[in-house]
Copies of this chain bind each other. A is one copy, B any other.
């Protein structure tokens, strides 16, 4: 059983592109697949990964199944990244301190 890891879901470029496309509104599977050099089953399986990561929501509409974007799990990635923007700013501050110290000595 594959894990419902958001980071793992984003590791594949096709899945990232699917999420990009879904920003512009819900799409059916065949509709989505037509944009890739991929068969429909492959896209359907990518959607399953995205579903397990809760990055998309499905809305059955008749015989079609529209996939909606749910960007909320991306917050986990954002939070993780913040640890590094903090790191970055910290480094810059340390550099400032170092320069200031050098200046006053």
Mark A residues whose CB is within 8 Å of B: 5, 7-8, 10-11, 13, 16, 19-20, 23, 69, 71, 74, 77-78, 80-81, 83-85, 87-88
Contacts and interface: CB of A to CB of B under 8 A. Distances in A.
Given A7-B16, A10-B7, A11-B5, A81 B83 contact: no
Main secondary structure of the interface of A (DSSP, over half): helix
B77 A23 contact: no
What 6 A-B pairs have minimum CB-CB distances, sorted nearest first?
A: A11-B11, A71-B84, A23-B87, A8-B11, A7-B11, A7-B10
A87 B74 CA distance: 12
Number of copies: 2
Contacts of A74: 81, 84
A11 B63 CA distance: 34
B87 A69 contact: yes
